[in-house]
Amino acid sequence: MTQPAATPRIPATLIPGDGIGEEIVDATLAALDALQAPFDWDRQIAGLGGVKASGDPLPPATLESIRRTRLALKGPLETPSGGGYRSSNVRLREEFQLYANLRPARTIIPGGRFDKVDLVVVRENLEGLYIGHEHYVKIDDDPHAVAMATGINTRAGSRRLLEFAFDHAVLTGRKKVTIVHKANIMKALTGIFLETGLELYERKYKGQFELDTVIIDACAMKLVLNPWQFDMLVTTNLFGDILSDLVAGLVGGLGMAPGANIGADAAIFEAVHGSAPDIAGKGIANPIALMLAAAMMLDHCKLTQQATRLRTAIDQTLNIDQVRTGDLGGSASTAQFTQALVSRIRNG
């Protein structure tokens, strides 16, 4: 009798991160183990953990691991506000040219202020004001009298991101894509993004989905008045950073918000919330955001059946078993939620 072929193993980098990172990573690994996901993990450090271990928030060994695997799952990394070291998240995007930030937001627990929300924000990840070209101008005895920043958007960078968004819309059956901009005021910086999107749609995608445009401030208002009028939002770096968190708030907050940073040569999947050092080690962290990021990682690796099983188990654990962590109105610990989820996966 012929034995079934073994599932090919997939090398992947694992970065638990700081604060609650270890706890939510352990929970997510338990879920992936129950799914028999074929990842071979190379555990690495970054963020504050990297600084403490080697004096570098993004150690060379971590970068080399991602270059080799081209795939990573990452917990939250601590970044100091104001001074200190530069964001490891931004450095990772730059190092591996992760130009597309994919942020889905879907209602999992019904009955909230907004129900049945199913949105995707696609954010350009490498350009705009996030390029970090900033400096101060000294006046008299004040070395920080004037602060200046330069934003840069390119035609090529805009087209690359818009093509990713439009292709993702077609692949996942999205009916409408909305380009978010501020071209009425920032005519060059965001105008080039809008112009490129309109031209690309007419040339290559017309008829495959509806295309709409909206100014960023109007978009923010419309999202909190009637989020169901949108399906997919695609926008520049800073606007995408803001809108993706706003959209997460429609479905319960950052604890329910996964993210993917995707480029030509690597993809990094993450929980987008902070490291929450105030609750680290207490066993009460909500691991759902990282688990949903792992589901996106499974999709990326064409393991769609396992991705669907993971999302279904999360839904059932929350809504049928009513096992929820404190931030979702329940009393379950991280371990109790994980145990209930793993049971759902194995018995589902």
What per-residue confidence (pLDDT) applies to 52?
85
Name the active-site residue from 18, 42, 99, 130. 130
Cβ neighbors of 282 (< 8 A, separation 6 or more) are: none
Task: Tell me which of 33, 217, 265, 282 is the catalytic residue.
Answer: 217
- 240, part of any domain: no
What pLDDT was estimated at residue 80?
60
Read off the pLDDT of each residue in 255-270 and give the average, rounded to a whole number: 94
- Catalytic-role residue among 18, 182, 201, 299: 182
Note down the domain range covering 327.
1-96+265-348
Sequence-separated contacts (24+) of 108-111 with Cβ below 8 Å: 108/251, 108/252, 108/256, 108/288, 108/314, 108/315, 108/318, 108/319, 109/252, 109/318, 109/319, 109/324, 109/328, 110/319
Residue 328 lies in a domain: yes
Q: Looking at residue 304, which CATH number applies to its domain?
A: 3.40.718.10
Predicted pLDDT of residue 336: 97
Count Cβ atoms within 10 A of the Cβ of residue 48 and give its class: 0-12 exposed, 13-18 middle, 19 or more buried: buried
- Does 87 fall in a domain? yes
Tokens 């939250």 appear where?
A: 76
pTM recorded for the entire structure: 0.91
Q: Tell me what pLDDT residue 3 has.
A: 47
Q: Considering its fold, how many domains does the chain have in total?
A: 1
* Type of residue at 341: L
The verdict on whether 241 is a catalytic residue reads: yes
Per the domain annotation, does 132 fall within a domain?
Answer: no
Q: Is the dihedral of CA 111, 113, 115, 117 positive or negative?
A: negative
Q: Give the residue, 19 or 111, on which the prediction is more confident.
A: 19
Q: What is the mean pLDDT of residues 86-98?
A: 85
Report, as an integer, the average pLDDT of 61-84. 85
pLDDT at 27 over 80: yes
Residue 131 phi/psi, 5° resolution? -65, -15
Query: What does the mean pLDDT of the chain come to?
Result: 92
pLDDT recorded at residue 347: 86
- Burial state string for 273-298 with b = 16 or more CB within 10 A and e = fewer than 16: bbbbeebbeeebbbbbbbbbbbbbbb
For residue 75, is it within any domain?
A: yes
**Mean pLDDT (whole number) for 33-53:** 92
The answer to whether residue 102 sits within a structural domain is: no
What is the predicted pLDDT for the residue at 308? 96
Residue pLDDT, tens place only, 112-149: 788 899 999 999 999 998 777 888 999 999 999 999 98
Is 231 a catalytic site residue? no
In eight-state DSSP terms, residue 204 is I
Would you call 118 a catalytic residue per the annotation?
no
pLDDT for residue 81 is more than 60: no
The answer to whether the CB of 182 falls within 8 A of the CB of 169 is no
| pLDDT at position 84 | 56
Whole-number Å distance between alpha carbons of 327 and 320: 18
- For the segment 158-181, what is each residue's pLDDT rounded down to a tens digit? 999 999 999 999 999 999 999 999
> Is there a contact between 100 and 252 (Cβ–Cβ < 8 Å)?
no
Please report which confidence band the pLDDT of residue 89 belongs to, taking 50, 70 and 90 as the band edges.
Answer: confident
- CA separation for the pair 30, 48 (Å, rounded): 25
Q: Which helix or strand (DSSP H or E) is residue 13 part of?
A: strand 10-15
Query: What is the average per-residue pLDDT within 89-108?
Result: 92
Quote the percentage of the chain above a pLDDT of 90.
76
Active-site pick, 18, 42, 241, 299: 241
Is 167 a member of any domain? no
Give the tens place of pLDDT for each residue, 294-340.
Answer: 999 999 999 999 999 999 999 999 999 999 999 989 999 999 999 99
Residue 249 lies in a domain: no
Q: Provide the Cα torsion 246, 251, 252, 255; round to 10°.
A: -80
